[in-house]
Structures are given as C-alpha cells and as structure tokens.
C-alpha cells in the first residue's frame, strides 16, 4: 500500500458530481444496451429501471443466444440471485462474449453470504475481470476482509452498498450518502442499481468514477421518490418516475459524496 497515493488525492468528489451529470446525459443520448443475466425476482423491475433511465435492457438466458446478446451489448450484468443450473451454465459464455467484444461486465454476488457453493462460484467469476463488483456489505465481506483489498487484488471497482454506499478501486474511495430507507423495503433495488451502474460504466471513461456517479443518481432518485410515496408499493413506481425525471440540477442540489481526505462536495 505504501506505493499508492493517499486516498482521495487523485479523485475529487466534484469529478463524481460531474460524472453523475454527464453520465445521466450520456445514457439518455447514447441509450446503451445492457444485457442482464439476473434473478427472476428482479428481472422486470431491472428492465423498467434501465428504460426509465434511458438505457435499453435485454434479459434472455437462452444458451443458443447468450453469446450474441452479451457480445452485442454495451455492458453485461451478471447477478447471482436465483442461480438455477440453466442460468449458472450460460454465465461464463456471456462473460467471454462481452470480454471478447471489449465490453465491461459487472458482478452482483447476491446472497453469497448464504451459500458456500455460490460464494465459490462468485470468486471464480470475480477472477474473470469484472469492471465492477456491487453487493451489499454482507456480500462484499465474503469476498475479502475489506473492499479496498478486494479491489486492489482483482484490479476492479468495488461498491459495498447500504445506508451509505462505499465505492473504491483500492486507491480512491468515495462514500455516497444519498438514498432513502424505503429502498431497503422494495426487493431488487440493489439489483436494479447494479444494472444502472453497468449503464454508467458502459458510457463512462473510468469505472470508479462511473460507479460512484451511478450511486449518486440512484440514491437521489430514491430520495425524490420518497417525497411522494405512501409506502413500498407506491415507492417502487415513484422510483421509476424519478429516474425518468431526474435533472442535472437535482444532482447539483442533492449529491452527498465524500472522500476521506476531502470535505463534502455539496
Ligand atoms: N437505509 C438506507 N438508507 C438510504 N439508502 C439506502 C438504505 N438501504 C439501501 N439504500 C439504497 O439502496 C441501494 C440498494 O442497496 P442494498 O444494499 O439494500 O442492496 P441489496 O441488499 O443488494 O438489495 P437487493 O438484493 O434487494 O437488490 C443502495 O445503493 C442505497 O442507495
Ligand atoms: C429476494 C430474492 N431472492 C433471490 S434474488 C432476490 C432479489 C433480491 O436480491
Ligand atoms: Mg443484492
């Protein structure tokens, strides 16, 4: 670690705010195609969240089509939430196709804290060069003792989500405090957030900045949705509306990003 620059030195939170604003605009203009191998619980909400944001989802897991879909997309999401044998069997083919096409993939290691076999599979996938790994704190903790070590060891970006989202590439660290407790009362909010993050990485220059920017955007959408929601049900639809309506001014006004060596950016 001695050879590394101090955390935060090479990345200003203001860069993340700019990346959130620019990333949102780029997703809406470029409409990246995101292929999602994701769990059966999250599929429809994830597809709707990508569409609301401006991206274009596809979700097939058919063995004879997976290489064409993953290789032709701008980014690939691999989510382990419902890891039936059929879904497990196509994941490597999808990653190989995306990687051969020079497209990023993001790993969401759902519930690896519940199953040793799933954790072992996730470790194998994590070694295949994901642009980012996003999981809740408990899931990330299964992969390494801390997110920085994991990011450095694999040369990837790690987002450990929860009340505060921590994003690191091992050298830079951002803490994103945006979000709302109702986000934890609707299933697949993290899964959809990982798909949104894949879209930001697909249109971004730098996976760390893009991942932190995505956390800002989805957290602010959650805050806006909570203003009109009456509970989890109306929150889910208000969240899609908020992704659709989000403007650059909302980001400037609401972003709460810190990095350890600097103060709050907003
Ligand atoms: N208590 C909270 N306060 C504010 N924001 C929260 C809270 N809990 C979750 N969030 C937001 O919700 C997003 C999803 O995070 P979470 O860690 O709950 O995902 P998850 O456990 O993977 O969810 P799922 O598996 O249901 O998709 C986070 O990025 C964060 O912005
Ligand atoms: C509830 C649930 N079970 C498997 S995946 C999933 C969605 C949240 O990760
Ligand atoms: Mg999850």
What is the per-residue pLDDT across 104-125, written as a single tens digit (0 to 9) for each? 999 999 999 999 999 999 999 9
Which pLDDT belongs to residue 13?
Answer: 75
Complete DSSP assignment for 75-120: EEEEE-SS--HHHHHHHHHHHHHHHHTT--EEEE-TTTTT-HHHHH
According to CATH, the superfamily of the domain at 13-258 is Ribokinase (3.40.1190.20)
- pLDDT at position 243 is 98
Question: How confident is the model at residue 16, as a pLDDT?
Answer: 96
Query: Is residue 6's pLDDT more than 50?
Result: no
Tell me the domain boundaries of the chain: 13-258
3-state secondary structure of 234: helix
Backbone phi, psi, residue 27, to 5°: -65, -40
| Cα–Cα distance for residue pair 71/220, rounded to 1 Å | 32
What is the ipTM, given to two decimal places? Answer: 0.98
- Specify the pLDDT at position 135: 98
Tracing tokens 């991206």 back to the chain, one arrives at 55
- Is pLDDT of 3 > 90? no
Whether residue 265 has its Cβ less than 6 Å from ligand 1: no
Give the side-chain half-sphere CA count within 13 A for 250. Answer: 19
Mutational test site, ligand 1, from 39, 40, 44, 179, max ligand atoms within 8 Å of CB: 179
pLDDT over 90 (residue 8):
no
User: pTM (2 decimals)?
Assistant: 0.95
Pairing of strands 257-258, 132-136: unpaired
Residue 220 tokens, joined: 């602010």
CA angle 68, 81, 147 (to 5 degrees): 100
Does 161 belong to an annotated binding site? yes
DSSP-based helix, strand, coil % in the chain, nearest 5: 55, 15, 35
- The HSE-up count of residue 210 (CA atoms within 13 Å, CB side) is 27
Average pLDDT, the chain: 94
The helix/strand/coil state of 178 is coil
pLDDT tens-place string over residues 66-109: 999 999 999 999 999 999 999 999 999 999 999 999 999 999 99
93 is in an annotated binding site: no
CA of 33 to the centre of ligand 1 (A): 24
Ligand 2 atom showing the smallest separation from residue 191 Cα? 9
Q: Return the sign of the alpha-carbon dihedral for residues 78, 106, 201, 137.
A: positive
Ligand 2 pocket list (CB less than 6 A): 39, 41-42, 81-82, 110, 187-188, 191
Rounded-to-integer distance, Cα 176 and Cα 21, Å: 15
Per-residue pLDDT tens digits for 18-64? 999 999 999 999 999 999 999 999 999 999 999 999 999 999 999 99
Q: Tokens 């619980």 appear where? A: 41
Whose C-alpha lies nearest to ligand 1, atom 7?
A: 163
Distance in Å, CA 43 to ligand 3 centroid: 13
Distance 188 CA to ligand 3 centre (A): 7
- Other CB atoms within a 10 A radius of the CB of residue 93 amount to 14
């Amino acid at each position: 670690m001695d050879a590394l620059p101090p955390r935060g030195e090479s990345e200003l939170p203001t860069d993340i705010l700019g990346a959130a604003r620019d990333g949102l605009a780029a997703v809406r203009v470029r409409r990246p195609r995101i292929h999602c191998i994701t769990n059966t619980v999250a599929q429809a909400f994830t597809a709707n969240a990508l569409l609301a944001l401006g991206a274009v989802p596809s979700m097939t897991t058919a063995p004879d089509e997976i290489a064409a879909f993953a290789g032709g997309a701008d980014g690939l999401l691999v989510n382990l939430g419902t890891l039936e044998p059929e879904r497990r069997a196509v994941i490597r083919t999808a990653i190989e196709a995306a990687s051969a096409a020079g497209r990023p993939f993001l790993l969401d290691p759902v519930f690896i804290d519940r199953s040793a076999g799933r954790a072992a599979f996730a470790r194998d996938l994590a070694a295949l060069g994901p642009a980012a790994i996003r999981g809740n704190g408990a899931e990330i903790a299964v992969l390494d003792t801390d997110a920085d070590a994991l990011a450095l060891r694999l040369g990837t970006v790690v987002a450990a989500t929860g009340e505060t989202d921590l994003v690191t590439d091992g050298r830079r660290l951002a803490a994103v405090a945006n979000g709302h407790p109702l986000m934890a009362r609707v299933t697949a909010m993290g899964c959809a957030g990982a798909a949104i993050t894949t879209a930001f990485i697909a249109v971004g220059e730098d996976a760390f900045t893009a991942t932190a920017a995505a956390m800002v955007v989805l957290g602010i959408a959650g805050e806006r949705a909570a203003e009109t929601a009456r509970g989890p049900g109306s929150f889910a639809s208000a969240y899609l509306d908020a992704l659709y309506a989000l403007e650059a001014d909302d980001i400037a006004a609401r972003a709460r990003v810190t990095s350890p060596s600097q103060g709050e950016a907003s």
